[in-house]
């Protein structure tokens, strides 16, 4: 009896075949994946990959053996003439449903031979990489069959020869096989995959098994969350029959979830009657078993609900790990200049805010480099303790694609950071309190030892809030205004002249002359009650600490006001002036300053000594003692109120947490 032998051709050009494998040209091990998939798709319960290397690590032989159904040569053209289509299409249990996996061998070898046994018939099929569209079939006698198939009833052994590229190491291939076939191995415990006699195990995962009751049916659902993405397989919901084969699969709603990969496998007697085609014809009284049936819709809803719980648990663990990682890498601000209790508050808040944003959309931080992540976190930290913290939610809402519930949860978390505005203010007030104590020590207790201190000028410039809260925003001024204001000051008669009447008790003129007056002139735009803008000009002169203020200094302040009014550059109606004279104390022999202060008490403007041109120019005299006491009164009041408000927020948050835990 003569042996059968014939040749065939694939219905695509050689160049077309090569082009379709371009994406894998640098991953020759993908050919192993494709050939293993073909073995399992042929119904194999065992696939054995053998890779032999020489002493230098080069390839000597590669084979993929399976105990599947083998290849029916009578239908060879249906198997080998098709490309990019397959008889497997429409079968959800099959992985290689594109009819091209067999030709992937050319990624690293020149020739592939399929030794196959089908229902007692032995054949071999040969394809050369120089002509991928052509294949040759030769019938074999039993003695010519590959040794690994001689004891099998059915099966196929693919042998690759003449290698043009090497394969990666064993560990790399094991990982690739785990990622690509882990879901199939977990689905059916009877399926086995080996690499050089080493069994490929199911990759790391977290599994949960649930029974879902729908009417009279019980559905056993296995939820598997993969630690690493399972190859090219997406997140599917699978229906599995008693034989462990997939009868239907459907994409779940958990695809595109960052670092989250979930597969569900449902088994039930109900599945064995499943109509994959959802046929509308029904010639008996049995209930329809398909994707449009009530049972399937209810099952899908319950799977979605449990899947969401699994995702939320995963996301919390994932975000907690990320927050710890960011802290270890120093991404968060240090808050080293704050009190310990306030630094702790700030750190908790920025962590909670970053966590909330991560929960809403993990992709925001996933692709950021270290420096970018650090900058973003610091910017968010500044924003949440500013008066514009609500803007953070507006920005995120415009960028993130979230459902209504997720938006509400995110908004709730960000609104809680209004508490941090309070904490931020407390921090500012506490820093001011510390600064005042230091300045008080210098001005009040050591005034006689203060000499030329140019750095004191900078201290005053940076702490204009000392003279009242409305002066907090006085910034650095352009040189022209400062220079003109100072030059006009020098026109005041006797402005720098010292007499014995000016000195505090026990000091001499020569010692006091070595001290300096400090001068500060600032201009800012402000608005009146009608919303009209004007320039608010503030000029502060701080007398030497050893000087006691008297009527001469008050007269000099008035003379300075007169000079300003007469200056053409300052005569505009849209300019208003506040002239502030500061000294350590008022002379015991003075009458004029004290009288002016008493007269102005009814105006409720502390320190006001004159007001001309309907408030266009006002003069103030303040001592360091009154400045410090006014600050301490207002600062202590604000601190107490803010701390009470902070405690209220703490209590309110605790009550809300208790409410949530009882629902």
DSSP 9-39: E-SS-HHHHHHHTGGGTT-TTHHHHHHHHHH
Residue 160, strand partner residues: 62, 112
How many beta carbons lie within 10 A of that of residue 158, not counting itself?
25
Q: Which long-range contacts (CB under 8 A, 24 or more apart) does 440-449 make?
A: 440/624, 440/628, 443/545, 443/584, 443/624, 444/584, 444/624, 444/625, 444/628, 447/504, 447/545, 447/546, 447/584, 448/504, 448/506, 448/507, 448/511, 448/545, 448/546
Read off the pLDDT band of 87 (50, 70, 90).
very low
How many beta carbons lie within 10 A of that of residue 75, not counting itself?
11
d(CA 582, CA 518): 9
What pLDDT does 500 receive? 55
Q: Which of 73-87, 183-197, 299-313, 402-416 has the highest mean pLDDT?
A: 299-313
3-class DSSP state of 218: strand
The whole-number average pLDDT for the span 227-241 is: 83
- Residue 656, pLDDT > 70, answer no
- Residue 104, pLDDT > 60, answer yes
d(CA 607, CA 280): 93
3-class DSSP state of 329: coil
The whole-number average pLDDT for the span 571-582 is: 85
**446-467 per-position pLDDT tens digit:** 655 554 445 566 677 777 777 7
- Contact at 8 Å (CB) between 220 and 264? no
Torsions phi, psi for 42 (to 5 deg): -85, 10
d(CA 1, CA 570): 121
What pLDDT does 283 receive? 45
Read off the pLDDT band of 93 (50, 70, 90).
low
Q: How many percent of the chain have pLDDT more than 90?
A: 24
Q: Which of 12-16, 260-264, 465-469 has the highest mean pLDDT?
A: 260-264
Alpha helices, DSSP H only, in 441-539? Answer: 454-462, 479-489, 509-513
Residue 630 to residues 463, 469, 593, 605, 636, Cα–Cα distance (Å): 15, 11, 19, 12, 10
The whole-number average pLDDT for the span 140-154 is: 92
Helix or strand holding residue 390 (H, E) = helix 389-399
Half-sphere exposure of 176 (CA within 13 A, CB side): 19
The whole-number average pLDDT for the span 643-650 is: 57
- Contact at 8 Å (CB) between 233 and 183? yes
What pLDDT does 396 receive? 59
Q: Which domains does the chain have, with CATH numbers?
A: 5-199 (3.30.565.10), 205-280+287-312 (no CATH), 329-416 (no CATH), 446-628 (no CATH)
d(CA 190, CA 186): 9
**DSSP state letters, 602-649:** GGT-TTEEEEETTTTEEEEEEEHHHHHHHHHHHHHHHHHHHHHHHHHH
Please state whether the predicted TM-score (pTM) of the whole model is above 0.85. Answer: no
Residues in the chain: 663
- Contact at 8 Å (CB) between 251 and 279? no
What pLDDT does 655 receive? 45
- Residue 225, pLDDT > 70, answer yes
What pLDDT does 264 receive? 92
Read off the pLDDT band of 409 (50, 70, 90).
low
What pLDDT does 398 receive? 54
Lowest mean pLDDT across 212-221, 332-341, 354-363, 497-506: 497-506
What pLDDT does 660 receive? 47
Lowest mean pLDDT across 49-53, 212-216, 502-506, 572-576: 502-506
What pLDDT does 511 receive? 41
What pLDDT does 253 receive? 87
Read off the pLDDT band of 7 (50, 70, 90).
confident
Name the maximum alpha-carbon separation found in the chain: 140
Residue 113, strand partner residues: 126, 159
Lowest mean pLDDT across 76-80, 127-131, 606-610: 76-80
Half-sphere exposure of 514 (CA within 13 A, CB side): 9
d(CA 663, CA 658): 9
Read off the pLDDT band of 86 (50, 70, 90).
very low
d(CA 606, CA 239): 82
Q: Which of 336-345, 448-457, 489-498, 563-572 has the highest mean pLDDT?
A: 563-572
What pLDDT does 495 receive? 61
Residue 147, strand partner residues: none
3-class DSSP state of 518: strand
The whole-number average pLDDT for the span 211-223 is: 92
What pLDDT does 53 receive? 95
- Contact at 8 Å (CB) between 582 and 542? yes
Lowest mean pLDDT across 33-37, 80-84, 329-333, 347-351: 80-84
Read off the pLDDT band of 525 (50, 70, 90).
confident
- Residue 318, pLDDT > 50, answer yes
Strand order through the sheet with 533-542:
518-527, 533-542, 575-583, 617-623, 608-612
- Contact at 8 Å (CB) between 172 and 179? no
Read off the pLDDT band of 468 (50, 70, 90).
low
Residue 223 to residues 290, 310, 317, 490, 602, Cα–Cα distance (Å): 21, 9, 18, 85, 78
b (16+ CB within 10 A) / e for 244-257: bebbbbeebebeeb
- Contact at 8 Å (CB) between 485 and 539? yes
- Residue 237, pLDDT > 70, answer yes
The whole-number average pLDDT for the span 371-388 is: 78
Phi-psi region of 517 (alpha: psi -120 to 50; beta: other; left: phi over 0): beta
* Contacts (Cβ under 8 Å, ≥6 apart) of 340: none
Mean pLDDT, all residues of the chain: 78
| Residue whose C-alpha is closest to residue 238's, from 224, 226, 227, 228 | 224
What pLDDT does 516 receive? 46
What pLDDT does 361 receive? 79
Q: Which of 68-82, 152-166, 392-406, 428-442 has the highest mean pLDDT?
A: 152-166
What pLDDT does 535 receive? 85
What pLDDT does 512 receive? 37
What pLDDT does 17 receive? 74
- Contact at 8 Å (CB) between 362 and 373? no
d(CA 270, CA 211): 14
- Residue 89, pLDDT > 60, answer no
The DSSP letter of residue 232 is T
What pLDDT does 88 receive? 43
């Amino acid at each position: 009896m003569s042996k059968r032998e014939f040749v065939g051709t694939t219905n695509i050009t050689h160049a077309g075949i090569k082009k379709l494998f371009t994406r894998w040209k640098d991953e020759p091990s993908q050919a192993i994946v494709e050939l293993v998939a073909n073995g399992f798709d042929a119904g194999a319960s065992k696939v054995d990959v053998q890779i032999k290397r020489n002493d230098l690590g080069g390839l000597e032989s590669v084979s993929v053996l399976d105990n599947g159904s083998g290849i029916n040569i009578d239908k060879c053209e249906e198997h080998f003439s098709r490309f990019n289509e397959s008889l497997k299409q429409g079968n959800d249990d099959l992985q290689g449903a594109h009819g091209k996996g067999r030709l992937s061998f050319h990624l690293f070898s020149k020739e592939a031979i399929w030794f196959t046994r089908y229902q007692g018939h032995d054949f071999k099929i040969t394809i050369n990489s120089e002509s991928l569209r052509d294949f040759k079939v030769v019938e074999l006698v039993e003695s010519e069959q590959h040794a690994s198939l001689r004891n099998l009833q059915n099966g196929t052994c693919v042998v690759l020869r003449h290698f043009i590229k090497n394969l990666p190491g064993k560990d790399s291939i094991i990982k690739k096989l785990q990622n690509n076939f882990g879901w199939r191995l977990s689905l059916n415990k009877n399926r086995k995959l080996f690499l050089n006699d080493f069994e490929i195990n199911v990759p790391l995962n977290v599994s949960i098994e649930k029974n879902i009751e729908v009417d009279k049916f019980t559905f056993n659902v296995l939820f598997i969350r993969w630690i690493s993405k399972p190859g090219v397989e997406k997140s599917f919901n699978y229906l599995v029959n008693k034989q462990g084969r997939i009868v239907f699969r459907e994409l779940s709603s958990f695809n595109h979830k960052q670092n989250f990969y979930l597969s569900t496998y449902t088994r039930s007697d109900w599945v064995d009657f499943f109509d994959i085609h959802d046929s509308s014809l029904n010639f008996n009284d049995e209930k329809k078993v398909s994707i449009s049936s009530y049972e399937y819709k209810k099952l899908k809803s319950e799977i979605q609900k449990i899947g969401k719980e699994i995702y939320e648990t995963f996301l919390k663990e994932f975000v907690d790990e990320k927050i710890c990682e960011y802290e270890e890498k120093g991404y968060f601000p240090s808050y080293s200049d704050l009190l310990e209790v306030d630094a702790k508050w700030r750190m908790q808040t920025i962590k909670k805010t970053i966590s909330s944003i991560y929960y809403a959309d993990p992709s925001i931080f996933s692709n950021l480099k270290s420096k970018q992540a650090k900058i973003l976190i610091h910017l968010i930290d500044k924003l949440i303790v500013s008066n514009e913290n609500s803007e953070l939610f507006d920005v995120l809402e415009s960028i993130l694609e979230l459902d209504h519930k997720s938006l509400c949860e995110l908004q709730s978390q960000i609104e809680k950071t209004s508490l941090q505005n309070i904490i931020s203010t407390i921090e500012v007030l506490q820093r001011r309190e510390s600064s005042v104590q230091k300045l008080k020590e210098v001005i009040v207790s050591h005034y006689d030892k203060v000499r030329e201190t140019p750095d004191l000028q900078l201290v005053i410039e940076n702490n204009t809030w000392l003279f009242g809260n409305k002066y907090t925003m006085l910034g650095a001024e352009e040189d022209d205004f400062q220079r003109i204001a100072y030059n006009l000051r020098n026109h005041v008669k006797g402005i720098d002249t010292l007499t014995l009447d000016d000195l505090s008790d026990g000091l001499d003129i020569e010692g006091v002359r070595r001290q300096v007056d400090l001068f500060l002139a600032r201009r800012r735009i402000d608005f009146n009650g009608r919303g009209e803008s004007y320039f608010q000009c503030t000029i502060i002169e701080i007398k030497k600490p050893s000087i006691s203020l008297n009527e001469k200094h008050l007269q000099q302040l008035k003379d300075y006001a007169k000079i300003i009014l007469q200056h053409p550059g300052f005569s505009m109606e849209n300019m208003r002036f506040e002239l502030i004279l500061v000294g350590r104390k008022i002379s015991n022999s003075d009458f004029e300053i004290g009288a002016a202060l008493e007269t102005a008490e009814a105006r409720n403007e502390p320190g006001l000594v004159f007001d001309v041109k309907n408030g266009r120019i006002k003069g103030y005299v303040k001592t360091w003692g009154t400045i410090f006491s006014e600050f301490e009164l207002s600062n202590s009041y604000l601190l107490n109120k803010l701390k009470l408000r902070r405690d209220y927020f703490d209590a309110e948050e605790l009550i809300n947490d208790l409410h949530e835990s009882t629902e």
